[in-house]
C-alpha cells in the first residue's frame, strides 16, 4: 500500500476544470429531487417526509428523504449488532481494502458530489470540491491507520513472561453528523468506526440527506455488509434514540455545543441491559480568535482573516469570529479589513467568484441577523458587504463590527455566520487573556514575526489547533489533526494518529512462559 497522500483539489483557475463542474451541475439538476430512503440492512423504507432544499433557491427541492423513527433506530441497532461479528472478524487488511474501494467510488463521482453540495448546502465550488477530497482522505488515512493499529503496541517484557496488547472494536457506533461538511465529516466518523471493525448507524443532518446517501452507496458497493452501515435520515428525535440505545457503544457527533453536551449527559446513563459505558467523541464548535501582533505583516493577515471569517459564509466550526489586534496596528487593521469586507461578493454558490454564499436555511439567516443587530446596537458597524442583488435564498451580507463591550454576546457566543468583530488590545498578554476567558478552545491564529512571541502564545493558548501566520480554517487530514479542547470537544483529533483509538478497546494478555512440562496426547 502506497504511503498516504492528500487528494489534490481541482485547479479552478483553469477554465476546463470549471466547465467540468458546471457540466456536472447541469447533469444533476434534471435528476432532482433525489430520493433518500430509511435504509436498514437490505430494507429500503420510507423515502418521503423530509425535504432538503437549495439555500440559494429554496423552492428547489434537492432531496426528499424518509423520516426515521425511534423504532427505526431500534431496528438499525439490531441489524448492526447482528452484522458486527462477521465484519469485525475480517482482517484489518480486508477492511482497509473495502474502504479503499469506497474511496475510489467517491473519486469516480467527484464532480457529481461537488455539484450536489453546491445545491444541497450552497457550498461554493472550491469548498465543495475540497469536501469531497477530504472524504476520500479520511477513507484512505483510516484504512492505513487500522492496519497499523492491528499490529498492537509493544510492552515491556522480562524473562519468563510474554505481554501483548491488542485492540478490538467496541461494537455499534452511532454517527450523528452536521450539514456544513456534509460528506467529509460524515465519512470521517463512519470510516474510523468501520476501519476498526465496528458496525455503524448513520444519522445525517436533516439539511443534507442526499450527500449522506452517496456515502452509504459507496460503502455498500465497496463491500460493507448491509447490516453494518444503515442510514437514518430524520430529525433530532432519531438521533436522541440512538444516543440512549443500550445497544450503542460509541456516539460520534459533530455539531453545536448545546446538543453535544446533551449527548455527553445522556450517554453517561447506563440503562438496564447495557453492560458498558458509552464512549462519546464530540466536536462542539468554537469561538475562534485571530491575534495580530504589532509586528505582523498585514498584507498576509488581512486576506487570511477575511478567508477565515467569511469563506462559506462563516459556517465552519473553525471560522474566525474575533480579530484581536495590538493597539499599535488595530486601527490600520480595522480599516484594511473594512475595505476587504466591502469588496466581498455575496451571491449564488454555483457562480464562480462568489465569496459569500447563502446561509443554510431561514433559521440560520434570522439567527445571524439577530447577532448583527445586537452588535450594531452594542458597538459600531465598521463595514458591511453589499447584499446579493437578486435577493434570492438565505443570503446575508457579511458585517464587520467594532467597539463592542466585553459582555456582548457577539464576543462570546458561537454565531456560525459571516460576522467578525475586530478589537484592540494593549499587549499580547491581554489578547491571550481574552482568548483564555472563552469556554471554547477549538482553533486560533497568530500573526507575528517574532519567534519568541510565537512560542509564548503557542504555549499559553488552550486551543486545539493554533495556526501561525495563516487562516484558522483548512485543516488537512494527516497534516493538521483537528479537534478542540474545553467545551469545543471531547476526544482525540480527527485525521490524526490517535483518532482510531476511540473506536476500540485495548486488551492485554500476560502469559507465564516458564512451563513445567508439556501437555501431550
Catalytic residue list? 283, 317
Instruction: Provide the β-strand partners of residue 281.
Output: 252
107-120: string of b/e by CB count within 10 Å (b at 16+)?
A: bebbbbbbbbbbbb
Decide if 251 contacts 242 (C-beta within 8 A).
Answer: yes
Phi, psi of 420 (to 5 degrees): -125, 135
Three-state secondary structure call for residue 15: helix
If phi > 0 it is left, if psi is from -120 to 50 it is alpha, else beta; for residue 58 that is: alpha
Q: Which residues contact 327 (CB under 8 A, 6 or more apart)?
A: 424, 425, 426
DSSP state of 114: H
Distance, CA of 304 to chain centre: 20
Three-state secondary structure call for residue 167: strand
Element (H, E) at 398: none
The span from the CA of 451 to the CA of 449, in Å, is 6
Give the dihedral sign, CA 140/313/182/178: positive
C-alpha cell at 476: 488537512
CA-nearest of 119, 136, 99 to 10 is 136
Q: What's the alpha-carbon Rg for the chain, to the nearest Å?
A: 24
Q: Which residues contact 406 (CB under 8 A, 6 or more apart)?
A: none
Decide if 238 contacts 69 (C-beta within 8 A).
Answer: yes
Sole residue written with cell 448491509: 226
* Residue 369: exposure state from Cβ atoms within 10 A (0-12, 13-18, ≥19): middle
* Residue 101: exposure state from Cβ atoms within 10 A (0-12, 13-18, ≥19): middle
Sole residue written with cell 476511540: 502
Beta strands in 293-362 (DSSP E): 320-326
Amino acid at each position: 500500500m502506497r504511503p498516504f497522500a492528500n487528494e489534490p483539489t481541482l485547479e479552478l483557475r483553469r477554465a476546463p476544470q470549471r466547465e467540468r463542474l458546471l457540466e456536472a451541475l447541469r447533469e444533476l439538476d434534471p435528476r432532482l429531487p433525489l430520493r433518500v430512503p430509511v435504509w436498514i440492512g437490505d430494507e429500503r423504507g420510507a423515502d418521503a417526509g423530509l425535504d432538503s432544499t437549495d439555500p440559494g433557491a429554496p423552492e428547489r427541492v434537492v432531496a426528499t428523504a424518509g423520516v426515521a423513527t425511534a423504532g427505526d433506530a431500534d431496528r438499525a441497532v439490531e441489524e448492526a449488532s447482528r452484522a458486527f461479528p462477521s465484519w469485525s472478524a475480517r482482517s484489518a487488511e480486508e477492511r482497509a481494502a473495502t474502504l479503499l474501494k469506497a474511496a475510489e467510488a467517491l473519486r469516480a463521482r467527484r464532480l457529481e458530489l461537488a455539484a450536489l453540495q453546491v445545491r444541497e448546502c450552497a457550498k461554493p465550488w472550491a469548498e465543495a470540491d475540497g469536501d469531497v477530497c477530504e472524504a476520500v482522505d479520511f477513507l484512505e488515512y483510516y484504512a492505513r491507520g487500522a492496519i497499523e493499529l492491528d499490529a498492537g503496541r509493544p510492552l515491556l517484557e522480562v524473562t519468563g513472561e510474554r505481554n501483548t496488547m491488542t485492540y478490538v472494536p467496541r461494537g455499534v457506533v452511532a454517527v450523528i453528523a452536521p450539514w456544513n461538511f456534509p460528506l467529509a465529516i460524515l465519512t470521517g466518523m463512519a470510516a474510523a468506526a468501520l476501519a476498526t471493525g465496528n458496525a455503524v448507524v448513520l444519522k445525517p443532518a436533516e439539511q443534507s440527506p442526499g450527500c449522506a446517501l452517496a456515502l452509504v452507496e459507496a460503502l455498500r458497493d465497496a463491500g460493507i455488509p448491509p447490516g453494518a452501515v444503515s442510514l437514518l435520515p430524520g430529525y433530532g428525535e432519531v438521533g436522541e434514540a440512538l444516543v440512549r440505545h443500550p445497544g450503542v457503544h460509541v456516539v460520534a457527533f459533530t455539531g453545536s455545543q448545546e446538543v453535544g453536551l446533551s449527548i455527553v449527559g445522556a450517554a453517561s446513563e447506563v440503562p438496564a441491559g447495557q453492560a458498558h459505558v458509552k464512549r462519546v467523541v464530540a466536536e462542539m464548535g468554537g469561538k475562534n480568535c485571530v491575534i495580530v501582533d504589532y509586528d505582523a505583516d498585514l498584507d498576509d493577515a488581512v486576506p487570511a482573516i477575511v478567508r477565515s471569517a467569511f469563506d462559506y459564509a462563516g459556517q465552519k466550526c473553525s471560522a474566525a469570529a474575533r480579530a484581536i489586534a495590538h493597539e499599535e496596528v488595530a486601527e490600520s487593521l480595522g480599516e484594511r479589513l473594512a475595505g476587504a469586507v466591502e469588496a466581498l461578493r455575496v451571491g449564488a454558490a454555483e457562480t464562480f467568484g462568489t465569496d459569500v454564499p447563502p446561509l443554510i436555511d431561514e433559521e440560520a439567516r434570522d439567527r445571524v441577523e439577530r447577532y448583527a443587530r445586537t452588535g450594531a446596537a452594542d458597538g459600531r458597524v465598521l463595514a458591511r458587504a453589499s447584499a446579493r442583488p437578486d435577493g434570492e435564498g438565505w443570503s446575508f451580507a457579511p458585517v464587520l463590527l467594532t467597539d463592542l463591550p466585553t459582555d456582548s454576546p457577539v464576543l462570546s457566543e458561537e454565531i456560525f455566520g459571516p460576522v467578525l468583530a475586530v478589537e484592540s488590545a494593549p499587549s499580547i498578554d491581554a489578547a491571550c487573556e481574552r482568548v483564555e476567558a472563552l469556554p471554547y478552545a477549538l482553533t486560533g491564529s497568530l500573526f507575528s514575526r517574532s519567534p519568541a512571541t510565537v512560542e509564548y502564545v503557542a504555549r499559553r493558548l488552550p486551543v486545539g489547533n493554533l495556526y501561525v501566520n495563516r487562516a484558522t480554517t483548512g485543516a488537512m487530514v494527516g497534516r493538521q489533526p483537528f479537534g478542540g479542547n474545553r467545551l469545543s470537544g471531547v476526544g482525540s483529533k480527527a485525521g490524526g494518529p490517535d483518532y482510531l483509538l476511540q473506536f476500540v478497546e485495548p486488551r492485554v494478555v500476560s502469559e507465564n512462559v516458564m512451563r513445567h512440562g508439556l501437555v501431550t496426547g
